[in-house]
Structure 1
Amino acid sequence: MTSPTPVLFIHGLWLHAASWKPWIDLFTEAGYAPSAPGWPGDPDTVEEARANPESIADHGIDEVVAHYAAVIRTLDAPPILVGHSFGGMIAQKLLGQNLAVAAVAIDAAQIKGVLPLPLSALRSTLPVFRNPANKHRAVSLTAEQFRFAFGNAIPAEESNQLFERWAIPAPGKPLFEAAAANFDPHSPAAVDTANSGRGPLLLMAGGKDHTVPEAVTRATLKQYRHSDAVTELTEFADRGHSLTIDNGWREVADAALAWLHHQSL
């Protein structure tokens, strides 16, 4: 009897790892061995994260990638990665390093080489960029800012509930690194998009996403044009950045599972 394939869920900025719990339950039922380890410095609970933002501050992309690479080395087999937002970028980097058998990157943050920078994305990240000192700090969103960045495609009441349940401070450093990526020859936001020997990758886009607009995800897909490995795109036209945690999460999760089954994983 073979052991179930491990699945690592990787959260993005402003959400706690515990927000993946419904996905973990679903993937467990589907026969996988899922887990959702937090970023380096992440406390175990939302409440602790809000009370100790300094523990989250000043962790950059390379440090987060190294953290998850270390987690992967403890597993019995290479995992499937499912990442949201900056977690989607991290998943792509790890897949490009051949540390995973496949990856699903949901509304993934902008990688090096992606040029579109829609105004809504700038507005979503303004709470970080308005102060250069935030590069080394953890920054919290207000409920109103969360509504614009995450919950614009769902009722305001649901957005506020998700904010109260899952929102935590986020390190500013990854955003500053991503913003400078196309001017930095050694940017940590670079992904080995030309790797033809990697496992399959599914990019998912929310058509109403303010933080990672569809144009960014489509431009990310084009970055993989020199790779012969499977790279596909699925769009949820009416969904925003909250698509992994809001009332429609199951549609997204089921699409990820169906794609993995199609890849015989």
Structure 2
Amino acid sequence: MKASKTKDVVFVTGAFVSNSGWDEWRTYFESKGYNTIAPAWPFKDGTAAELRARQPNDTDLANLSLAELVDHYANIVASYAEKPIVIGHSLGGLITQIIVNRDLAAAGVAIHSVPPQGVFPYEFSFLKAGWKALGIFTDLEETYLMSFEDWQYAFVNDMPLDEQKAAYEANTIPESKKVARGGLTSAAHVDFDKPHAPLLLTSGSIDNIIPAHLNNRNYEAYKKDNGSVLNYKEFEGRNHFVVGQPTWKEDADYILAWLDKNA
């Protein structure tokens, strides 16, 4: 068990990207007195370039399921002597919501979260940005790697081309199609009526893959009269690469202020 003298934060990475995307966040949170970790997904034990070199024949990653991934992070969080704060982005936001629902976290922050089961993502931009990851009519024993063109639409829209390319090279990695499909199953279930630890959901006004409207429906699905702290914040001008956008520190400051009040 990990001893905790100051508040601990577990950062949970989303799909398609390396956990190194949290590096600046970790440094910043640690400068504010937090202990942080950003553990990789199972079978994502390398740099973005190393993981791309395994595409598409990384069968271990290809066979990873969402249920296994959630349990991976839940076990990490449960290993702390005192409940940590959990902060996740995208699919990591969904995992954060599930971990909060399991009463394992002191507080949770879900950044541009993939919605839990029951919040149907009917937005066209979500379908356009994400449907290829499901791997319909493709081999599930092979991983999926987002193309640069799809990355431009799904993650880094409205950014300069050179920044889009740099972000792709530094972050984009192959993904399990089975994990993506798991978002449509009971593995993505959250009991919206259950009382829970403080939870903040954030969104971005120009996010294509997880539009703000979808994030707001996620928030609205929760029961509001059970005594739980639940907040929602939409940030102007944030795309899905929010964790790495130049404005990331503004978002981090908002989250830190919310944690100071609620965690």
**Matched residues in 1 for 2:137 and 2:261: separation?**
45
SS at match of 1:188: helix
**Preserved contact between residue 128 and residue 134 of structure 1 (Cα < 8 Å):** no
- Secondary structure of the structure 2 residue equivalent to 1:202: strand
Residue 81 of structure 1 aligns to which amino acid in structure 2?
A: V
- Does residue 83 of the first structure (1) align with residue 85 of the second (2)? no
Matching of residues 27-42 of structure 1 within 5 Å = 27-42=29-44
- What's the secondary structure of 2:188's corresponding residue? coil
Per the alignment, residue 118 of structure 1 pairs with: 123
- Letter in structure 2 aligned against 1:8: V
Matched, 1:203 2:205: no
Q: Which string of whole-angstrom CA distances, capped at 9 and with x for unpartnered residues, describes residues 172-199 of structure 1?
A: 1222222x34xxxxx1111122221x21
Q: 1:189 to 1:132 in 2, by over 3 A?
A: farther
- Work out the CA distance in 2 between the residues paired with 1:94 and 1:195: 13
Alpha-carbon contact 1:61-1:90 (below 8 Å) kept: no
Counterpart mapping for 1:94-133 below 5 A? 94-129=99-134, 131-133=136-138
Of 159, 170, 180, 1:165 maps to: 170
For 1:170-181, what aligned pairs fall within 5 Å after superposition?
170-178=175-183, 180-181=184-185
One-letter identity of the residue aligned with 1:94: I
> Which residue of the partner structure matches residue 213 of structure 2?
215
Aligned structure 1 segments of 4 or more residues deviating by more than 6 angstroms: none
Give the Å deviation of 1:147. 0.6
TM-score (norm 2): 0.92
CA-to-aligned-CA distance 1:37-84 (integer Å, 9 cap, x gap): 011111132222222341422222211111112212332321100100
d(CA) in 1 for partners of 2:53, 2:81: 35
Q: Which residue number corresponds to residue 145 of structure 2?
A: 140
Corresponding residue number in structure 2 for 1:184: none
Give the drift of 1:130. Answer: 5.3
TM-superposed CA distance for 1:238, in Å, is 1.3
Q: CA deviation at 1:134?
A: 5.1
Q: How many residues align?
A: 256
Question: What secondary structure does 1:195 align onto?
Answer: coil
Unaligned runs of 5+ in 1: 182-186
Q: Tell me if the contact between 2:133 and 2:144 (Cα under 8 Å) persists in the aligned partners.
A: yes
Deviation string 1:199-252 (CA, Å, 9 cap, x unpaired) is: 100000011111101111111011112543111101112111001112111111
C-alpha distance in 1, partners of 2:142/2:259? 37
Q: Residue 49 of structure 2 corresponds to which residue in structure 1? A: 47
Alpha-carbon distance in structure 2 between the residues aligned to 1:12 and 1:116? 17
Q: 1:44 to 1:84 in 2, by over 3 A?
A: same
Q: Does 1:194 align with 2:196?
A: no
Contact 1:59/1:174, CA 8 A, preserved across alignment: yes
| 8 Å contact from structure 1 (residues 135, 176) kept in 2 | no
Does the aligned pair in 1 maintain the 2:13–2:88 contact within 8 Å? yes
Q: Does 1:154 align with 2:159?
A: yes
1:59 lines up with 2:57 in the alignment = no
The 10-residue stretch of structure 1 (79-88 or 231-240) with the greater mean CA deviation from structure 2: 231-240
Distance in 1 (CA, whole Å) between partners of 2:127 and 2:40 is 26
CA distance in 2, matches of 1:259, 1:146: 31
Q: After superposing the two structures, state which structure 1 stretch, 210-219 or 54-63, moved more.
A: 54-63
Bigger mean CA deviation after superposition, 17-26 or 149-158:
149-158
Query: Does 1:15 pair with 2:13?
Result: no
Query: Secondary structure of the equivalent of 1:63?
Result: helix
Q: Work out the CA distance in 1 between the residues paired with 2:18 and 2:201.
A: 22
CA contact (8 A) 1:200 1:230 kept: yes
User: Which letter maps to 2:125?
Assistant: S
Q: Is this contact kept in 2: 1:153–1:239, CA < 8 A?
A: no
Please report how far the alpha carbon of residue 114 of structure 1 lies from its aligned counterpart in structure 2 after TM superposition. 0.7
Structure 1 residue 135, shift from structure 2 partner: 4.4
